[in-house]
Structure 1
Amino acid sequence: MRPFQHGAAFLTLGTITLVACGPAPAPKAPPSEDATSEDMGAIEPAPAPVTAEPAPPKLRLPCAEDDLVGCTNGCDDGIVEDCVTLGVMYLRGGEVVRTDPPRAVELFRGACTSGSARGCIKLGDLYHDGTLQDDPAEEVTLYRKACDAGANRGCVAAGKAYLEGRVVGLDPVFAATLFTRVCERGNAEACLELGRLYDRGHGVRKDPDRALALFTKACQLGLDEGCLTADPKGEVVPPRQ
């Protein structure tokens, strides 16, 4: 029997075969630059590249006081305190290195300029003992710089200079301020000097009770002179901290 043809369908006995007519679907074009995520479907961003974290800086201990090579290398590498230790070696000389005060001064000055309180104190000491005499007032400038950098000894040394009027104007009030600053930090020598000022009423209002408390504190912090001043007869010695 002849199949019955109607449009796109062919009818035969027992079987119906459907054949799609018309043009084949066109391939999808790639998404344009203006396409949105709804047009393109959900697209996950590419994962960020994994970068290794930088290794922490290697701990480097200060050089030993007799390690000429280690201190020299450390100073050359910019470790300021190694420069100070190297300067001490050149200042005292001995078996390790030949005495070289100008080199020591150069090292102390460079370290002080770089923020080393110890470098400033070492340089100030050279002015104090007369090794350096080009500018005596530099002694107090250096001690105050060390004090401002947090060195208690710098504050005490500067305070004594103002108290004695050595190379600077006499200023017991400012000396008391410096002693108070570091006594509160627990410096025994500063407490002793401040106690003396309260005992005499020099730079501060006279206050014997305050003076005794400061002498006692100096004693408790381990300064024998504070104990003797607090109790000259030695009958009662305050417990030390």
Structure 2
Amino acid sequence: MKNLFILLLFIIYANSSNIDEAKKALNANNYSKALKIFKKECEKNIEGCFYLGLLYEHGIGIEKNINKAINLFDRACGEGDLNACFELGYIYYKNKNYDKAVNLYKKSCGGGKEKACFNLGILYFYGEGVKQNYEKAKKLFEISCNKTEVKGCVSLGILYENGLGVEQNYKRAKQLFEKACNRNEASGCFNLGELYLTGKGVRQNKYKAKELFGLACDGGKEVGCEMYLELNEQGF
């Protein structure tokens, strides 16, 4: 599973032929060859340092070492690798060092990383590392939603559903949840199901709500499974 995860990251980030060679080595469980390539690449360009950092961060073919990952990401980020800035920001976020996470997400988001924009929006939504600001969160969620980060659509929908930083608008919330659900985002299906359950912005339809909760459940959202069973027991 870890091998598949790291390969997915390579598919997203990889640019050079040497990295392609390292991907093939990982796929063949030849970790020593992959490590050798990344270490060599790191000596001459920041891309190799970023991938080497990923291996240390996730313990792929080498003992997990977050401190080494941080050092490698910090070096790559300092030389302009926005992917490294994002990964470093995420490590700091997980460790509740929100001030550093904010600065790194800002840098990565400014360079076009929509996932960084989404994560930065979450920090503004909850007021972690920054003063709580729903208006700024909205702008960041819009950036991520308009690109490929569908979780941004869900968060933006939550703002419209609850009138946070925007005028309350259930129909707009429905559109956003629907967009996310259609892209297989479980939380979008769940939130859309809640609108149908309560009749907010739509005609109340518990059968439709049950269907959407089922999709959320299939997507791994446990509360979706619970709501599906509850409606099922009620005869819907």
Task: Give the TM-score normalised by the residue count of structure 1.
Answer: 0.64
Cα deviation 1:52-84 (Å, max 9, x = unaligned): xxx954325373342122101221343212101
Corresponding residue for 1:43? Answer: none
CA contact (8 A) 1:199 1:207 kept: yes
Distance change (3 Å), C-alpha of 1:188 and 1:138: same
Distance change (3 Å), C-alpha of 1:86 and 1:196: same
Give 5+ residue unaligned stretches, structure 1.
1-54, 237-241
Query: Following TM superposition, by how much is the alpha carbon of 1:191 offset from its aligned partner in structure 2, in angstroms?
Result: 0.7
More strand by share: 1
CA contact (8 A) 1:195 1:215 kept: yes
- Give the one of 134, 139, 142 matched to 2:140: 142
**Deviates further, 178-187 or 202-211:** 202-211
Tell which structure's C-alpha radius of gyration is larger.
1
> Residues 125-164 of structure 1 correspond to what in structure 2 (within 5 A)?
125-131=122-128, 132-133=130-131, 135-164=133-162
CA contact (8 A) 1:124 1:142 kept: yes
Structure 2 residue 115 is the aligned partner of structure 1 residue 118: yes
Q: Distance in 2 between matches of 1:210 and 1:147?
A: 25
Corresponding residue for 2:197? Answer: 199
Q: Distance in 1 between matches of 2:85 and 2:200?
A: 40
Query: Following TM superposition, by how much is the alpha carbon of 1:224 offset from its aligned partner in structure 2, in angstroms?
Result: 2.1
Count of aligned pairs between the two proteins = 177
Give 5+ residue unaligned stretches, structure 2.
1-14, 20-46, 58-65
Letter in 1 for 2:75: N
> Residues 1-241 of structure 1 correspond to what in structure 2 (within 5 A)?
56-59=16-19, 60=47, 61=51, 63-64=53-54, 65=57, 66=66, 67-91=69-93, 101=99, 103-131=100-128, 132-133=130-131, 135-232=133-230
SS in 2 for 1:123: helix
Alpha-carbon RMSD: 2.7
Letter in 2 for 1:205: R
Distance change (3 Å), C-alpha of 1:56 and 1:70: closer
Cα deviation 1:171-209 (Å, max 9, x = unaligned): 111111111011111111111111111222211233332
SS in 2 for 1:232: helix
More helix by share: 2
Q: Distance in 2 between matches of 1:154 and 1:169?
A: 18
CA contact (8 A) 2:126 2:132 kept: no
Cα deviation 1:122-156 (Å, max 9, x = unaligned): 21122112232274410111112111221122111
Give me the identity figure in percent: 29
Q: Distance in 2 between matches of 1:93 and 1:226?
A: 29
Cα deviation 1:95-130 (Å, max 9, x = unaligned): xxxx571x4322211111111122112211221122
Letter in 2 for 1:225: V
Query: Following TM superposition, by how much is the alpha carbon of 1:163 offset from its aligned partner in structure 2, in angstroms?
Result: 0.6
Task: Give the TM-score normalised by the residue count of structure 2.
Answer: 0.66
Query: Following TM superposition, by how much is the alpha carbon of 1:233 offset from its aligned partner in structure 2, in angstroms?
Result: 7.5
